[in-house]
Structure 1
């Protein structure tokens, strides 16, 4: 064979060897498996266990760990939380919550990365229409790099352009989107006492109606994926959503037509969660009304499907931060909890057990009247009239805000 022919043969063999590498690797794996199987069969027998023994051992370890974790949850009582607070006066109490609030922020990974950086983006503020009750503007507010707080700013139609109105932040839950009207569009506000904005507008409040990431077309698990992605990235989904409410409040309280000293927040279900948690972190919210959220949080989470309410399962959520402990960070500001006595998601029994614990904080401060728990005949519903009655009581248009 001539030299050029040999050279071509060598080159062809090298090319074949390169592309046949996966085949060689696979063959090596197969031969290794065969070798291990033969060695195991022919070698001297070693320690053996019945399969059931192995399963029982693993199950026993799982039960031990479960009991240990349950013990950690049970050991953290409200008494231990309150022992670190100074109840000698409301001023001293507020000062003593500083370290506790910092620990709460740490658990939530709040504020999210990038929040404290200067946000130079411009607020998009566009008219969205008007009707017989209000004028509406759609705002898009930069909060984090590439992340915006989006919602509707509403003012009663009969309010003067220069009137400095008190502000109500109205937080809807996952079921907060109303049914489409005949034209296929979703009404932003409805003439209904269960609506999150109508009752407030009717009573003369300006309203901020934020949009939360509760829904996405074509995907039922995207919120859980967001929750996991947030933990993996050093923050939490609640931290991001709360930051959006707080940044919107920064912008809205700079307006000439808003009284920054009179801000309330009301919310239902998931919106109730955000109302309680945002009020705990943001002292500019002077009054809060929470509907269909306060409960025995451990029982709610344990009863949900594995991983249910994933964004509520942040570190220490059932050791340090059950609902009464979060309430302690809202005090001494007025706080109302409303619950339907037939709530199918958060059973009324859990709310009835938890409300007295939350009320203890206010009673120890000598301001027990500022905490209210109210039941009404309903399922997982919102009672806008009751929420606004409470807001009126402490922050009505003619009333000063509580100190």
Structure 2
């Protein structure tokens, strides 16, 4: 290096490391302001997009078919497409494997493993009441950190408040599936759900889409049982289970009535990565998903003392969901209850009274 170059380099401009900070702060402020504005405008975009036919129940149900496929596409759940791409191949055998665990005064308890695709199985509990049937079937869905055994009260019940056995006591068979949500270390191996979701999204699927696919295929198998009434299928779930209940019922009209506890809310306030897909905000937030369950009966509840999801968000979004039913004159098929409790399945009779009144 020449002395002339060395001298010039010694005079190169320098500044304190925070000199550009105000520009970066402006970049962040602009981004936050722009996103907030887009979120506000998305309400109009959703209103223009989601325009089912409210002429009557039949017209409404027919008009939601294309939206249902759009939601499936959003989640990466168009099974025919996935199967054509060899990402999901039909299971070699459609027979479930039942392992009897116990028999008590409420009936018989089985661990059930169900083939849903080549190399993929669903696992859960199947609780069958005494008698010949045919029984209604209710899917009882656990939430985050949970298991089917926990919802059934095998070793305590946490915030599920004996949800599964309360359903069985009313005379229904229950399928309580396990999703990739258990408390790692306590109930099984540790895992990174977000990373698994990212890996699936690289393939055009999502963790939610794949688990909803497994739920759908589980119903395909279970509803072949002669002791179950395929015309009387319900689903109830808490928290993450409330999410899966809402979306499973929206995608699968066989679910005749749904009870979603402590999930429905302002999704912009809770943009969890596995509840978020590109374009969802301009097509499907919670109220629009509820619109795909309508005109089937839907019960929503939130805890007034819920420390996970704010009550105000539940009240606002459930009011938007109610509008679908009221425009069809079907207010009795929809209920949204803010109960005196926390992030838990309501200990009162209301959710199960609603469920069984429509089964």
Say whether the fold is shared (TM-score over 0.5): yes
How far apart are the structure 1 equivalents of 2:193 and 2:290? Answer: 26
- Aligned-pair CA distance for 1:130: 1.1
Distance 1:365 1:371, change over 3 A: same
Are 1:134 and 2:107 counterparts?
yes
- Indicate the residue corresponding to 2:245 in structure 1: 275
Is contact 1:272–1:293 with CA below 8 Å preserved after alignment? yes
- Indicate the residue corresponding to 1:250 in structure 2: 220
How far apart are the structure 2 equivalents of 1:321 and 1:41? Answer: 63
- Aligned-pair CA distance for 1:39: 6.2
How far apart are the structure 2 equivalents of 1:156 and 1:170? Answer: 15
Deviations 1:348-389 (A, max 9, x none): 111112221110111111112211011221111102632210
- Residue number among 335, 355, 358 corresponding to 1:391 in the alignment: 355
SS at match of 2:128: strand
Is contact 1:172–1:196 with CA below 8 Å preserved after alignment? no
- Indicate the residue corresponding to 2:43 in structure 1: 77
Query: Where do residues 18-37 of structure 1 align in structure 2 (5 Å cutoff)?
Result: none
- Aligned-pair CA distance for 1:242: 0.8
How far apart are the structure 2 equivalents of 1:169 and 1:81? Answer: 34
Distance 1:146 1:43, change over 3 A: same
- Residue number among 172, 185, 188 corresponding to 1:205 in the alignment: 172
How far apart are the structure 1 equivalents of 2:143 and 2:16? Answer: 52
Are 1:284 and 2:254 counterparts?
yes
- Count of aligned positions: 344
SS at match of 1:299: coil
- Residue number among 77, 94, 107 corresponding to 1:110 in the alignment: 77
Query: Where do residues 34-183 of structure 1 align in structure 2 (5 Å cutoff)?
Result: 42-43=8-9, 52=18, 54-77=20-43, 80-81=47-48, 84-111=51-78, 113-114=82-83, 117-121=89-93, 122-157=95-130, 159-160=131-132, 163-177=133-147
Is contact 2:287–2:320 with CA below 8 Å preserved after alignment? yes
- Aligned-pair CA distance for 1:209: 0.7
Over the aligned positions, Cα root-mean-square deviation in angstroms equals 2.9
- Indicate the residue corresponding to 2:209 in structure 1: 239
User: Which stretches in structure 2 are left out of the alignment for 5+ residues?
Assistant: none
SS at match of 2:313: helix
TM-score, structure 2 normalization: 0.86
Distance 1:45 1:264, change over 3 A: same
SS at match of 1:173: coil
How far apart are the structure 2 equivalents of 1:139 and 1:40? Answer: 76
Give 1 or 2 for the bigger CA radius of gyration: 1
TM-score, structure 1 normalization: 0.77
